[in-house]
């Protein structure tokens, strides 16, 4: 565009802190076949029993009865995850924008985290329920081979609680499920209440609870409940999962020859990237009232 005003560079984009992708592990992948979906075996093994030796046990009332036989108490579960693609597109003239590819890539870089977070929470891509697994789910979904694509979130309380109670209940759920580090997922509007109550702390660009669980603060998280329960200005849902992983494909930019519209003599410059996310084991939910922080 030509006018009398001077052309200058726009402000530098700074991504939001503590988003979903900042807490996700990146598993190795030998090739691009993961874009067809993946199957993985959960390894949060928190099933065990105790036993004793009757010869050395002391009860104060005589020897205990014979110890029971050891039994199979651990199971490994197969889970699956499906991919989705985020894209950005804008129309431009075939000439006059020499850095159109960079603009398309920058637009994708800025917008993709929000879209990824929204899909990961709701399970929706192009407004269809096709993203598995996702957070806001109240029903288990199996594929044709009985592999778990979607777990049902366990709601840990029947009514909204303050964030102190909510964090405590979710951390207890993580501990009972895996006894390891998990991830707590919250809407951005909940973050002030968490800091006000001194429930979280920032370390090395990531957010942690006092007991060491990671916190993902999603700008794209809508805050809805496991069965689509709506939020209000002062209420939201928080979810807890096991360790989150993310697989991210390369940025693909369509060139001018592929996108030229001869009727308008414009190029629809498009950039896209494929994502796949999942988690290990735990899946719990709690509704919180941030006005009661």
Structural domains in the chain (count):
1
Interatomic CA distance for residues 34 and 261, integer angstroms = 33
- 177 within 8 A of 281, measured Cβ to Cβ: yes
Domain annotation covers residue 68: no
pLDDT of residue 94: 64
Residue carrying structure tokens 């200058």: 8
Domain annotation covers residue 72: no
Digit-by-digit pLDDT tens for the chain (293 residues) are: 557 898 888 888 888 899 999 999 998 876 889 999 999 998 776 677 888 787 776 766 777 888 888 887 777 889 999 999 999 887 776 665 557 778 888 889 999 999 999 999 999 999 999 999 999 999 999 999 999 999 999 999 989 999 999 999 999 999 998 889 999 999 999 999 999 999 999 999 999 999 999 999 999 999 999 999 999 999 999 999 999 999 999 998 876 666 667 777 777 778 899 999 999 989 999 999 999 86
pLDDT of residue 256: 60
Domain annotation covers residue 182: yes
Domain annotation covers residue 112: yes
Domain annotation covers residue 13: no
Compute the half-sphere exposure of residue 246: CA atoms within 13 Å on the CB side of its CA: 19
pLDDT of residue 96: 55
Q: Under 8 Å CB-to-CB from 159, ≥6 apart: which residues? A: 287
pLDDT of residue 21: 95
Give the residue ranges of DSSP H helices in the chain. Answer: 100-122, 163-177, 191-196, 256-259
Domain annotation covers residue 7: no
Domain annotation covers residue 205: yes
pLDDT of residue 223: 98
pLDDT of residue 49: 83
What angle is formed at CA 103 by the lines to CA 262 and CA 35, rounded to 5 degrees? 85
Domain annotation covers residue 151: yes
Domain of residue 244 covers 20-39+77-292
């Amino acid at each position: 565009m030509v006018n009398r005003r001077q052309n200058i560079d726009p402000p530098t984009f700074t991504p939001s802190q503590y988003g979903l992708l900042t807490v996700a592990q990146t598993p190795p992948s030998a090739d691009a076949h993961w874009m067809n979906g993946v199957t993985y075996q959960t390894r949060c093994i928190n099933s065990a029993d105790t036993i004793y030796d009757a010869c050395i046990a002391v009860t104060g009332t005589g020897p205990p009865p014979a110890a029971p036989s050891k039994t199979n108490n651990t199971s490994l579960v197969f889970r699956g995850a499906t991919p989705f693609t985020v894209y950005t597109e804008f129309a431009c003239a075939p000439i006059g924008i020499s850095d159109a590819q960079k603009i398309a890539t920058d637009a994708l870089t800025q917008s993709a985290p929000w879209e990824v977070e929204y899909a990961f929470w709701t399970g929706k891509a192009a407004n269809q329920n096709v993203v598995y697994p996702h957070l806001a789910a109240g029903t288990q979904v199996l594929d044709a081979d009985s592999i778990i694509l979607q777990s049902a979130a366990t709601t840990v309380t029947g009514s909204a609680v303050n964030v102190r109670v909510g964090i405590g209940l979710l951390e207890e759920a993580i501990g009972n499920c895996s006894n390891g580090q998990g991830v707590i997922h919250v809407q951005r509007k909940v973050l002030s209440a968490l800091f006000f109550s001194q429930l979280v702390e920032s370390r090395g660009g990531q957010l942690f609870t006092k007991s060491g669980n990671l916190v993902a603060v999603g700008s794209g998280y809508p805050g809805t409940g496991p069965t689509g329960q709506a939020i209000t200005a002062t209420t939201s849902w928080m979810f807890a999962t096991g360790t989150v992983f993310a697989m991210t494909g390369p940025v693909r930019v369509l060139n001018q020859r592929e996108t030229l519209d001869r009727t308008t003599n414009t190029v629809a410059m498009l950039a896209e990237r494929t994502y796949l996310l999942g988690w290990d084991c735990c899946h719990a939910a709690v509704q919180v009232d941030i006005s009661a922080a």
